Amino acid sequence: MGLILAVDIGGTQIRAALFERGSLKPVRAERTRTEASKPGVYDRLEALVASIWPADGGVDAIGIASPGPLDPHAGVIIATPNIKEWR
């Protein structure tokens, strides 16, 4: 069973979902408040992903959505307009 992890990092919430390949219905989904003006956004993101990560660690792909420009060659977000901690 190929699993895909999708993460959406927004200004008010972070959402994560685990999908079976070829399905649009999530196997598991969770969300948390971003609290973009407070420190600890990365820690909340890490905890959210850990909460839905499969026990066997078998994820085939990960997709992450975030506002702001990114460097596709380096794989980093350059600046997020709504998460002060990541500027």
Task: Tell whether the torsion through CA atoms of 2, 56, 73 and 81 is positive or negative.
Answer: positive
Contact of 80 with 59, CB cutoff 8 Å: no
Torsion of CA 70, 22, 53, 42, to 10 degrees: 20
Query: Which tops the pLDDT comparison, 54 or 87?
Result: 54
The predicted model scores a pTM of: 0.83
pLDDT digits (tens, 9 = 90+) for 30-66: 998 877 677 788 888 999 999 999 988 889 999 998 8
pLDDT band at 1 (very low <50, low <70, confident <90, very high): low
> Hey, what domains does the chain have and what are their CATH numbers?
3-86 (3.30.420.40)
